[in-house]
Structure formats: structure tokens, C-alpha cells
Chains A and B, each alone.
Chain A
Amino acid sequence: MRRRRNSLAGLLFLLPDFIGVLFFALLPFFQAVVRSFQSAVTARWVGLKNYRDVLGNSAFRLAAGNTMKFTAVCIPLLVLLSLAAAVCIQRVRLGKAALKGAFLLPMAVPAASVVLVWKVLFHSNGLINGSLQRFGMEKIAWMSSDAAFWVLVISYLWKNLGYDMILWLAGLAGISPEIYEAARVDGAGEWKCFTKITLPNLKPSLYTITVLSFLNSFKVFREAWLVAGDYPHQSMYLLQHLYNNWFRELSFDRIAATAVLNGGVVFLLILFLQRAWDTEV
């Protein structure tokens, strides 16, 4: 009896929020799934036509390809860099809190407030090219060549390095110091400790961090849009640009199909994340 009353109470706590979630996210998403099989204007059933349209669309291929390339370059870079930063910062005594704060700072910086800085930095006569020239190197056309892709990479690393570092530090804090002490007594050096103790123990964190980094990589659109507007150089044309452009043309059928495809990929990744959490004891 008491148990049933308790489970009712739990439901009551949850319900107001759940109704909102159902109403503003879940049900509309299913509606979008239905729409992905219909034509935009007449809502006639068209089967897989929208999906064929999307997959054959050159803008979609460009955007999906760029998004994939971006992920393939950025995530390994970010994961390794942040791991290195975390391992180093864990040993630092002098100014540890300040250093952590400095790396985390970009998380708090609204993308819109650094647009001007990015423009000054990456302009062809800007500060970065200025320094390159001073060292006798060629100017790079950051915004109007394939280098635009690297502007995105730099923005993403800048924004997420501290975030990932905190995640790694949480993982590192979970390794008991006794293991290290035992290994040191047995004569293991720093490097050996790192490869034989630290890395294997961080494996569960690696899954989590990779998936979270992937999901955060979708947010890099903000930086891209802010520095380059709606129609950037084609090397930084991302899925979100595509959504926005189709949105302006009101091709809801194609957006729906893309959203379902995109959502499917993300969902698969989330299942991986879940498994990572489940294996973590």
C-alpha cells in the first residue's frame, strides 16, 4: 500500500515537467517523422521520396560531408589535447584553480560577444596573418578558402577544451592513489604508471567524453554563422546552414527527412553512451 502511494507521489512530482516535454518536444517530433513521408504543401503521402531527395541533394551532401569531416578532425584532437591538459593540470600546485578557470572561461563567453574579435583575428589583413607575415610566412585567406574549415576547428577547440578537461579530471579523480603507490613501490616510473594505470582506468570516461564532444560539435554552427553569415565558404557549410536555408524556402518536407536522419545518428550515439555508462562500475 505504502509503496503504491509512494510511486504515485513520484509520478506527481514528475508530471508537470513531463507534460511540457511531451507537448513541446516528443509529440512534435513524431509529427515531424510523419511529415517526412508527406509532401510539403498538400500533405500527400509520398513514401520515401523526401529521403531520396535529401540524400541526392548536393547541398545536403556538402553539409553532411563537412559535418563528418569536422567531427573526424576535431574530436580526436580535442579528446587528446584535453587529456594532456587534464593530466598536466592535475599535478600543478601553483595557481591550479586559476588555470582551471582560465581554460573553462570560453564556456561562459557568449559566442556573439567575440564575433568582432574573430573578425579582426581572421581577416586577411588581420592579426593572425600579421603575425604570420612577421615570421616570414604567407598570408592565409582564412574566410574565403578551405582554411575556413580550420577557423571552425580552432573555435571548437577554444570553446570546448576546458569543458572536456573537467570531464577528464573527474575521471582521473576516480582512480585511487593506492594503485599508484603500489606501482611505485614496485619500481614503476611515471610513464609506466600513465600507460599501465591511468589510461586503462580512464577507458569508461573516454566513451563518455567522446560522445559528449560529438554532441557539442553541433553547436559550432554558432561560431560559423557569426563570422560568416548564412552563406559561408563552402568548406564550413554545415548541416545547420542547410536547415536554415531550407527553412527560408519553406521546404519542410526535406527538413523533416533530414531531421529524422540526423536524429537517428544522434540516437545511435546515445545508445553507445548508455552502454559506456552501464559498463562503468
Chain B
Amino acid sequence: MGRHLAGKVFGKCGKGAVWLVLVLMAVIVCFPVAFVVSGAFSAQWELEQNLGPVLGSAEGMARWSLLPLAPAFQSLVELLMDSPQFFVMFWNSVKISLSILAGQMIFGIPAAWGLARFSFPGKGIVQMIYLVLMLMPFQVLMLPEYIILNGMGLLDTHLAVILPAVFSTFPVFIMQRFFHGVPEAVLEAARIDGAGNFQIFCSIGVPLGLPGILSSGLLGFLESWNMIEQPQTFLKTKALWPLSLFLPEIGLEEAGMGFAASLMMLVPALLLFLCGQEYLEQGIAAAAVKE
């Protein structure tokens, strides 16, 4: 009896300790985000004071306060009011990401439906090709894509970044797994009522596969918003650059502006993440289990 009780107490303490460790880890993981937020709301003088040793203007070590001594909107206001360059880059990022998303939906949704619900000769090979391309790192496809874009005269235009990403096979893979889960009986019933293939796709497939479409859209947006290698390789003109290439050019000397711009880059991704965390998890898990 005594041993049983001891075990219970020990178990409770163990659970509490595990919980504490998890919370501590979670705080560390989230720290960089908190860092950006506090940096964006700090005044330039406070940043310079804290970061002096890193900038080489002061002795000692850099410091950081997660709650700024004097919260200020100065950097954000300056960024949003007086830096037309920032707006160009921000708009480029929005344009590129949304175009990619739209293209992935237009081409990817029907393709995923076709692969999930029909059988036709060569389907196995097509699926293998899609899987392999989905998992290939960009570096392998960098030269091939460059060759074709060059041939089409698209280099140094936004289309050079958009088109290859539209035909990324990742969204098809995710959506296919969700379309697979639509019960055959529902489709059969619609067929008996005389609905055609296209009608079934629009009125049953898309609504029932919506979680998959959302998962894929969310993962796709995060990926294209974060794109670095592709614009770096295919865009020469600075005026065409997305925000992700502009940010690394800001040194710590302009920390105020830099953190404000970082925050602006972070906010759209974070908002989508917070609204769609559930779909994001489903999308990730879709790769872990066999269809």
C-alpha cells in the first residue's frame, strides 16, 4: 500500500517535471519570435544601447530586454510611411505568393482528384514521378529550371519564380491523400442520380476535400512566402525582389528598421498559422500514414 502511494506521488511529480520541461522548451522555441516583436517596438536608441557591443560601438556584451524600456512605434511608422522600397518588396512577395497559390489550386486540385479517384494506364508511374519531384531539393532542379526559363525568355521576371512553383507536386500529393478519404458510396449515389464526372468533382469532391485543400494551401503559402533560393537564382533586378531577399541586406546598424521589416514579414505567416494550425497539422501528418 505504502509502495503504491509512493509510486503515485512519484508519478505525479514526474508528470509535473515533464510538463515543466516541455513548457521551458516551448518558451525557448518561441523566443526568436518574441525577440523580433520586442525589437520592432523598441526605439532605435534603446536598440543601439543594447546592441552596442555587437555593433562594435561599446564594450562588454549585448543585452536584450523582452519588454522595451520605452516602447516606441517610431521604427514601424518610419518603415510604413517613409520607405517606398519596403512597399515594393512587400508587394512583390504578396504578388508572388498569391499567384503561386492560385496556380497550385487551379492545376493541383483537379490533378489530385484525378489521381485519387480514377484508375488509368500509367497512373503508378505518374504517382512515382510526382513523389520523386516533391522530395527533390531545389538544388537538383535549379539548373534544369534555369535552362527552361532561359529558353522561354522568362528569366528576371516574376513568372520565373511563379511558374515552376505552380507545378510543384507537393500540393497534389497532400490533396490526393484527403480526396482518397471521400467515401465511394457518396460518389456512387451521385452517379446514379446522373451526375457527370465534372459535376461530382465540383459539388462533392471539392467540398468534402476542403480540409486537404486548406492544408495544402497553408503549407504552400508558408513555403512560397519563405522562398529564398528561387528568387535569388532567377531574379537579377532588385526592384523585383521579394521581402525575403531584402531583409538580409539590412545590417544591425539599422536594427530598428530591420526588426520592423522582419515583423511585417512575420505577421502574415503567423496569422495564417494561428488560424489554421489544425489544418497545418493534418497536412504534415498526411505524409506520415499510408493512404
Contact = CB atoms under 8 A, between A and B. Distances in A.
Interface stretch (B70-78, B80-88, B128-136, B206-214): B128-136
A166 B284 contact: yes
Majority secondary structure, A binding face: helix
B64 A120 contact: yes
Contact of A116 (B118, B166, B259): B259
Interface in A8-40: 8-14, 16-18, 20-21, 23-29, 31-32, 35
Contacts of A27: 148
Contacts of B273: 104-105, 107-108
A233 interface: no
A123 B284 contact: no
Q: Which of A215, A243, A273 has the most CB of B within 10 A?
A: A243
Contacts of B244: 110-112
Contacts of A209: 288
B180 to A, nearest CB: 14
A14 B288 contact: no
Majority secondary structure, B binding face: helix
A116 B262 contact: yes
Interface string B122-148: 010010111111011111111111111
B140 A113 contact: no
Contacts of B110: 13-14, 16-17
Chain B's interface size range is 35 or more
Interface string B256-291: 001100110110011011100100110011011110
A110 B144 contact: no
Contacts of A247: 142-143, 146, 233
Contacts of A105: 29-30, 33, 270, 273
Contact of B60 (A8, A97, A125): A125
B197 interface: yes
B265 A17 contact: no
Given A7-B121, A162-B29, A112 B144 contact: no
Contacts of B114: 9-14
Contacts of B126: 14, 18
Contacts of B90: none
A115 B249 CA distance: 10
A259 B142 contact: yes
A205 interface: yes
A129 B27 CA distance: 19
A99 B284 contact: no
B41 interface: no
A24 B136 CA distance: 14
B5 interface: no
Contacts of A50: none
B137 A218 contact: yes
A125 B57 CA distance: 11
Q: Which 3 A-B pairs have the closest CB atoms?
A: A10-B118, A13-B114, A28-B144
29 contacts: A14-B126, A18-B126, A20-B167, A25-B169, A95-B23, A97-B277, A99-B26, A100-B277, A102-B30, A103-B29, A105-B33, A113-B266, A115-B262, A116-B39, A116-B259, A118-B32, A119-B252, A120-B35, A127-B62, A166-B285, A167-B284, A209-B288, A215-B137, A225-B248, A226-B248, A239-B139, A270-B131, A270-B135, A273-B135
